[in-house]
Chains A and B, each alone.
Chain A
Amino acid sequence: MHNVASIEIEQDIIQANDKLAYDNRTKFDEKGVFAVDLVGAVGSGKTSLLEKLIDEMDDDIGVIAGDILSKFDAKRIEDKNVPVKGLNTGKECHLDAHLIEHALPDVPLDDISILFIENVGNLICPADFNLGAHVRTVIISVTEGDDTAEKHPMIFKGADMAIVNKVDLADAVGADADKMVKDIKTINPDIPVVKCSLKTGEGVQEIIDLYKKFQEQ
């Protein structure tokens, strides 16, 4: 004879991640570290932005570089002489709070004031996973096509600032950078959006000023 029972679980997997994210946030706050989750399409310029910010910002920067398999990004940051922890996700297409929790012991939180977390190049999955960072930046570039924002509204809805990169190439690829800005503002009316070229340096100071503003809040 077997007893049959129905058990309520009511466990939301996304909320379970949020709880871990909250723990990460607590750790950042205890150490006085401002954490940024940097998400964007493949090749949109995430690592280039970090290289630029390391050169131009006064803060002590640390980096967690998420990559599916390679260590290329981590190596590029290492060459800038800042602490970097490479994080390989294996088959996964996004970082989650649990992976960050495991990476944190290898990040010298006592020695840095800003931690940038470069997420895996993907505009879909990271939308569901809060890492515990204070700010989420989405970076897309004109070369992905100027319908990128309207095709991926969820990632912009959950972001705190957005960057439209590679504006130096807009004419060459026939993309309208202003349309991209407008789409992002439609999806998320309160979000600051910066048009930028990491090649010419246009917009970089504006990005740094935004981070300063967020840090002071």
Chain B
Amino acid sequence: MHELSMANSMVEAILDTAKKNDAIKINEAVFEVGELTMLNPEQLRFMMDVLREGTIFEDAKIIINMIPTKIECESCGFTGSIETDENTDHLMTVATCPECKNTRVHILQGQECNIKTIKIEKDDENA
């Protein structure tokens, strides 16, 4: 359940940036969440909905893009996606190279929790 603390940090960072840019309303926010973070996007959305109530972020459209896992193999140099086994719900595959089955692999992608962009509305300066 670290969705709550994540959502909290995300909403705070967004409101902070919006304020610095003199926003009066936030229309959209785009996030990138890595598969390996164990963050459930639906829970994240739910938490953010609770936290942004009554703020200028309240009505914004929230877009969450899930980032697939990418690994690099130390032994054969393979770079790419992991093989997910449909029959298992665990992520043991993050540890094995799909090409040479070596287990010395580095995770290149899939651990991020990124706030990409927001779209804001400002008062027209010439008004």
Answer yes or no: do A and B interact.
yes
Bound state CA distance, A92 and B2, in angstroms?
A: 6
Instruction: Say whether A6 contacts B119, CB under 8 Å.
Output: yes
Known: A5-B119, A153-B92. 14 other contacts (CB 8 A): A3-B121, A5-B122, A7-B21, A7-B119, A9-B14, A9-B117, A12-B112, A12-B113, A13-B114, A124-B38, A128-B37, A152-B90, A153-B90, A187-B92
Write out, one digit per residue, whether chain B residues 1-38 have a CB within 8 A of any chain A CB (1) or not (0): 11011100110011001100100110100000000111
Give chain B's interface residue range (CB within 8 Å of chain A): 35 or more
Bound state CA distance, A13 and B125, in angstroms?
A: 32
Q: A5-B21, A9-B14, A124-B38 are in contact. Are A14 and B111 (CB under 8 A)?
A: yes
- Nearest A residue to B91 via CB reads A153
Instruction: Say whether A13 contacts B2, CB under 8 Å.
Output: no
**A-B residue pair count with CB separations less than 8 angstroms:** 117
What is the CB-to-nearest-CB distance from B125 to chain A, in angstroms, rounded to a whole number?
A: 7
- Nearest A residue to B12 via CB reads A13
Contact residues of A between 1 and 53, Cβ < 8 Å to B: 1-14, 16
Which residues of chain B are near A92, meaning CB under 8 Å?
A: 1-2, 4-5
B56 within 8 A of A: no
Bound state CA distance, A129 and B1, in angstroms?
A: 13
Which residues of chain A are near B66, meaning CB under 8 Å?
A: none
- Nearest B residue to A128 via CB reads B37
What is the CB-to-nearest-CB distance from B115 to chain A, in angstroms, rounded to a whole number?
A: 5
Which residues of chain B are near A96, meaning CB under 8 Å?
A: 5
What is the CB-to-nearest-CB distance from B47 to chain A, in angstroms, rounded to a whole number?
A: 11
B51 within 8 A of A: no
Q: A125-B1, A154-B94 are in contact. Are A189 and B104 (CB under 8 A)?
A: yes
